Structure 1
Amino acid sequence: MPELPEVQGYKTYIDSTSLHHTIESMDCRDDRLLKKDIRTFKKHLVGVQLSGTRRIGKYSFVETTGDKILVMHFGMTGKPTYYKDADARPKFGHIVLSFENGFQLVFENKRKFGWWDLIDDIEAYKKEHDLSDDARELSLDDFKKSLSSRKTDIKKVIMDQSVAAGIGNWLADEVLYQAKIHPQLKVADMSEERIEHLHKTMQEVIEVTIEHDAHYSDFPDHYLMHIREEGADCHHTSSKIKKIKVGGRATYFSPQWQEK
């Protein structure tokens, strides 16, 4: 599933291709991908321009010159693609905006878990859906405050979008590996110093993954993503990478490296 680094890349992509062009038409092959009916989408999108983007966690908010904001959630396999030849529409390009310059922005969504919505206000939407500040911008004070009432496994907590919006499964594993923290360590057992270290590491890992456009093969050699499979050799110790379930999610960690 696209997580914070991937969605940041999608934001940059939309910014560099699709802004400031008037939308001439909209097509959707499957209305189930729209949170409102297609007529409402066409009413508020056709004839206007996409004017700017903002990302909070895994959500992409696209402002328009009209009175609505477009929300994109990419689900498991979603991504945006900008192209000119209408015949080049991708096989799984279920939603398309066509611009006056002859180009199209398509929302590719192979497994159809992604969706679009229209909203009036980003902050109200954020509050309604219990989203924290984006994990990239999350202050240490707010992070500490969110953790102060939690008692369960740290991995489960940092994947909670009300705690650190944008942190998903693989990114949580990477952050905890770099911070040398066991994924099942209880928040209640973490010292203030360790929480501060976790926050600092989270920010560092986010920046590295964005810098490399979430291309896993380009991550630094000591990153877990290169060995994120059961039985692989830990980069730092002689132990093997272990796979367990935390919060119902497959979790990879190094038992000797990540202390509990």
Structure 2
Amino acid sequence: MPELPEVHGYKVYIDSTSLHKNITAFDCRDTKLLKMPKSDFEKYLLGEAFTETRRIGKYLFLRTTGPKALVMHFGMTGRPNYYKDKADRSKFGHIEITFENGFHLAFENKRKFGWWDLADSIESFKNDRGLSDDARDLSLEDFKASLSNRKTHVKKILMDQGVAAGVGNWMADEILYQAKIHPEKKVGDMSDEDIEAVFDAMKKVIETAIEHDAHYSDFPENFLMHFRKEGATCYHTGDEIQKIKVGGRTTYFSPAWQGL
């Protein structure tokens, strides 16, 4: 599933291709991917232009010259694709916008878990969804406040979009590996130093992933992503990586490195 770094890349892509061009057509092959009637998207997008984008976690918002903002969520396999020739629209390009310059922006969504919505404002959408500030922008003070009075495992809390918007499964594993924190450690048992280590690791993982355009193979050699599978070898200890379930999610960690 696209997480914060991948969606950041989509933001950069749309910024460089799709802003400040009037929208002349809107097509959707599967209206189940729309959170509102197709007619609403036509009403609020046709004749308008995208003016800027903003990302909060895994959500990408496209402000328009009209009264609504377009909301994109990429699900498991969603991604944008900008092209000139209509024939270049993929069979998975279920939603397509056409611009006045003749180019198109398609929302490719192979497994159809992604979707589009319209919002009156980005802040109201953020508040209604209970999202925290984007994990990249989150302050240590707000992060600590979100963890106060929490009792469950830190891995589960890290993936709570009301705590650190944008952190998903692989990122949570990587953050805890970099912080040397066991994924089943209870938040209530964590010291201030533990929490600060997780926060610093979160920022490190985010910036590293963005710097490398979310190309995992380019991550530093001590990143878990290179050996994130059961039975692989921990970079630091040489012991085996283990797989468990935490909060219903498959979790990889190094017991020798991330002691409980």
TM over 0.5: yes
Counterpart position of 1:202: 202
- Kindly indicate whether residue 214 of structure 2 is the aligned counterpart of residue 225 of structure 1: no
Unaligned runs of 5+ in 2: none
Partner Cα separation in structure 2 for residue 10 and residue 139 of structure 1:
24
Question: Which amino acid in 2 is paired with 1:145?
Answer: A
| Deviations 1:144-196 (CA, angstroms, capped at 9, x unpaired) | 00101201100000100000000000000000001111000010110011111
Give distance in 2, aligned partners of 1:127 and 1:149: 21
In structure 2, what residue type is equivalent to 1:146? S
1:106 maps onto 2:106 in alignment: yes
SS at match of 2:27: strand
Distance 2:167 2:248 in 1: 16
- SS at structure 2 position matched to 1:155: helix
What is the letter of the counterpart of residue 72 of structure 2?
M
Distance 1:22 1:93 in 2: 20
Q: How many aligned positions are there? A: 260
Equivalents in 1 of 2:68, 2:83: separation in Å?
24
For residue 259 of structure 1, report the CA deviation from its aligned partner. Answer: 2.1
Q: Quote the residue 1:147 is aligned against.
A: 147
Partner residue, 2:239: 239
The residue number in structure 2 matching 1:193 is 193
| Per-residue deviation, 1:124 | 1.0
1:47 — aligned with what?
47
Q: 1:76: which partner in 2?
A: 76
**Per the alignment, in what secondary structure is the counterpart of residue 80 of structure 1?**
strand
By how many angstroms is 1:104 displaced? 0.3
Encode CA deviations 1:62-121: one digit per residue, 9 max, x unaligned.
000111100000000000000000011011000000011111000000010000001111
Displacement over 4 Å in runs of 4+ = none
TM-score using structure 2 length: 0.99
Quick one: distance in 2 between partners of 1:219 and 1:196? 22
Q: Secondary structure at the match of 1:72?
A: strand
Q: Equivalent residue of 2:6, what SS?
A: helix
Q: Residue in 2 aligned with 1:254?
A: 254
Query: How far apart are the structure 2 equivalents of 1:226 and 1:80?
Result: 27
Structure 2 match to 1:134: 134
How far residue 197 of structure 1 moved from its aligned partner, in angstroms, is 1.4
State the secondary structure of the residue aligned to 2:96. strand
1:161 aligns with 2:161: yes
SS in structure 2 at match of 1:217: helix
SS in 2 for 1:96: strand
Identical aligned residues as a percent:
67
The residue number in structure 2 matching 1:176 is 176
3-state SS in 2 of match to 1:113: coil
Aligned to 1:59: 59
Structure 2 distance, partners of 1:25, 1:44, is 12
User: 1:41 and 1:64 mapped to 2: Cα distance?
Assistant: 12
Question: Which amino acid is the alignment partner of residue 46 of structure 2?
Answer: V
CA distance in 2: counterparts of 1:187 and 1:259, whole angstroms: 15
Instruction: Look up the match of 1:211.
Output: 211
Give the whole-Å Cα distance in 2 for the aligned partners of 1:91 and 1:222. 39
Match of 2:22 in 1: 22
How many Å separate the matches in 2 of 1:75 and 1:133? 20
Q: Secondary structure at the match of 1:8?
A: helix
